[in-house]
Amino acid sequence: MTEKACCGPGYSSPQEAIKADREKLVYTIAIYTGTGIEAPDYLATIDVDPESPTYSQVIHRLEMPNIGDELHHSGWNACSSCHHVSGKERKYLILPGVRTTNLHIIDTATDPRAPRLHKVIEGDEIKKKTNLSGPHTVHCLGSDIIISMLGDADGEAPGGFLHINEDFEIVGRWENDITGMNYNYDFWYQPRHNAMVSSEWAAPNTFMPGFDLDDVSAGKYGHSIHFWDFEGKRIEKTVDLGEEGMIPLEVRFHHNPDSTHGFVGATLSSNMFHWHKNGNGWEVEKVIDIPPVELEGWPFPVPSLITDFLISMDDRFMYIANWLHGDLRQYDITDPSNPVMTGQVWMGGLLGKAPTVNGHRIEGAPQMIQLSLDGKRLYVTTSLFSTWDNQFYEGMKEVGGCMVMVDCDTEKGGLSINPDYFVDFGKEPKGPSRCHETRYPGGDCTSDIWL
């Protein structure tokens, strides 16, 4: 990548971007949906400056206008894919409500420490105009924005992709053809290769009430990934990952725009798959297999449940969150076909290896993760989805969620939980809430795509 491509909108050099990352804030989604507390979900602003008197504290809470959104993932209106667009600024954070389909447009630039609501695109309007619901992944697309939608207006599969413009107006559906797609979830595109990859979870009507193992055997969860002709907006190839690839969720290409290498985590099967393009087209191979563990009281071995992973900005390290086992892993992926585990820490989880962290009881386990631009600090939150939280970690209603920071050795590899950082969402003013995805004001490892 050139230095220009590495910076993203608003920064003149990578050093300036990293400086902003170190000195400012992070934004983390917090939810009350499904907790029993009748209050809106909100965006928490957290101070991550170790020199600040409010370090590792929530310093601002922006509540959504309605109750019951189930904020889940988020995304920026601008990233490095629109670096060439004059005047484009990473100013607005888009917060989708999975249950309501509302899209909340948040102004984070006017006052970064106290974001404000700019606009709401009502879910009913989206359903009426596009027959889509259940917004999930948000990526900027040059000037415009596309969002993966998990269902139709009635909450049934397969969903599709919503296209909105830079003024946050509904353009319509983005895709021209979804033939071959049974379900939808995450996506990532690589413009230099005219490629996009998408994954599959389940219909909203299946996953929203909670997890039922019978739904897996009934074929109600996905096990395929799709390679798209990005310019043609249609699926070029579908790869069925089979039983070893049940519920493929997060997908990540390398950050290097020349690379065709990428990964997808098969959540239920607890495997990582690597893809790349060769002379015969797209090739997919399993490269990490995390075995299930026998646990008293469980009728079957407990899978690790890979719920999130990311790749460092230099494409050297991969970080994997195992939500049921309770561990976070670091892999050196210098050779993408042969990842080597270089670090591991434990927090929470069902295996009982780390019931407390920094003196705090943990209900939940590593779930969503976000890495600093310099690769040294990994922020980890513990909530997956309200109904799934309630099934697997009943105690989360009492103690809420938390955010932990993990220090990453970027020279030799290795992980350690920072003893001085802990954000306790169990002590929020309206009662215990749960924290999910985190974003940096200056851009982050899971949002920027380079041309």
Q: For the chain, what is the mean pLDDT?
A: 93
For residues 293-307, give the mean pLDDT. Answer: 94
Task: Tell me the pLDDT band of 74, cut-offs 50, 70 and 90.
Answer: very high
Instruction: State the pLDDT at residue 320.
Output: 98
Domain that holds residue 362: 3-439
- CATH number for 377: 2.130.10.10
Instruction: State the pLDDT at residue 443.
Output: 82
Task: Tell me the pLDDT band of 450, cut-offs 50, 70 and 90.
Answer: confident
- Whether residue 10 is predicted with pLDDT greater than 80 in this model: the reply is no
- Whether residue 5 is predicted with pLDDT greater than 50 in this model: the reply is no
- Whether residue 412 is predicted with pLDDT greater than 60 in this model: the reply is yes
Compute the half-sphere exposure of residue 59: CA atoms within 13 Å on the CB side of its CA: 19
Tell me whether residue 445 is in a domain: no
Instruction: State the pLDDT at residue 9.
Output: 45
For residues 288-300, give the mean pLDDT. Answer: 94
Instruction: State the pLDDT at residue 1.
Output: 38
Tell me whether residue 228 is in a domain: yes
Tell me whether residue 134 is in a domain: yes
Strand partners, 46: 26, 58
Task: Tell me the pLDDT band of 299, cut-offs 50, 70 and 90.
Answer: confident
Instruction: State the pLDDT at residue 2.
Output: 34
Kindly provide the b/e burial profile for residues 331-347, where b requires at least 16 CB atoms within 10 angstroms of the residue's own CB. Answer: bbbeebeebeebbebbb
Instruction: State the pLDDT at residue 90.
Output: 87
Sequence-ordered list of residues with C-beta below 8 angstroms from that of 101, at least 6 positions apart, any chain: 123, 124, 126, 127, 132, 133, 134, 135
Tell me whether residue 354 is in a domain: yes
Query: Rounded to an integer, what distance in angstroms lies between the CA atom of residue 368 and that of residue 310?
Result: 10
Instruction: State the pLDDT at residue 24.
Output: 84
Tell me whether residue 451 is in a domain: no
Tell me whether residue 26 is in a domain: yes
- Alpha carbon 159 to chain centroid, angstroms: 18
For residues 102-106, give the mean pLDDT. Answer: 98
Residue 321: phi and psi, rounded to 5, are -105, 125
State how many domains the chain has: 1
- Whether residue 280 is predicted with pLDDT greater than 70 in this model: the reply is yes
pLDDT tens digit sequence for 205-255 = 999 999 999 999 999 999 999 999 999 999 999 999 999 999 999 999 999
Percent of the chain with pLDDT over 70: 94
Tell me whether residue 448 is in a domain: no
Task: Tell me the pLDDT band of 85, cut-offs 50, 70 and 90.
Answer: low
pLDDT tens digit sequence for 342-362 = 999 999 999 999 999 999 999
- Whether residue 374 is predicted with pLDDT greater than 60 in this model: the reply is yes
- Whether residue 13 is predicted with pLDDT greater than 80 in this model: the reply is no
Instruction: State the pLDDT at residue 290.
Output: 98
Instruction: State the pLDDT at residue 451.
Output: 81
Tell me whether residue 105 is in a domain: yes
Are 345 and 329 contacting, i.e. CB atoms less than 8 angstroms apart? no
Pick from 191, 166, 187: nearest CA to 258: 191
Are 132 and 170 contacting, i.e. CB atoms less than 8 angstroms apart? no
pLDDT tens digit sequence for 179-195 = 999 999 999 999 999 99
